[in-house]
Structure 1
């Protein structure tokens, strides 16, 4: 089970790594049945291979949400 502190540290590391990736529109934490995971929101499925499956032992999950538009 991954605790919140470990997930936060992994999120910070992953945010730095993916900060310039145009396919990534958001990085956050999500609680799952086995603890916390880092959740990466993507513009399209083609960006998924650039996201690692885990960071420092913390599981990373992706979700394609599309392009984020502001009004």
Structure 2
């Protein structure tokens, strides 16, 4: 079981490694049955293929979510 502190450290290490990778749109923590995992949201399957399956013994899961764009504000 991975605790939150170990997962947070792995997330920070992975964020440094992936910061220059195109297609990575988000990195966070998620709870699973086995404790915490690092969750990486990517724009497409090509980007998912460049994400490692674990970092420092912490499992990494990816999800293809597509491109992320800011919401446009509406004027009332």
TM norm structure 1? 0.97
Q: Which residue of 1 aligns with 2:67?
A: 67
Point out 4+ residue stretches in structure 1 off by more than 6 angstroms.
none
Gaps of 5+ in 2: none
Q: CA deviation at 1:48?
A: 1.2
| Cα RMSD, aligned residues only | 0.5
- Structure (1 or 2) with the larger CA radius of gyration: 2
- Separation in structure 2 between the aligned mates of residue 56 and residue 46 of structure 1, nearest angstrom: 23
Cα distance in 2 between the residues matched to 1:23 and 1:54: 19
Q: Which residue of 2 aligns with 1:38?
A: 38
Q: What TM-score do the two structures reach when normalised by structure 2?
A: 0.91
Q: How many residues align?
A: 71
Q: Which has the higher helix share?
A: 1
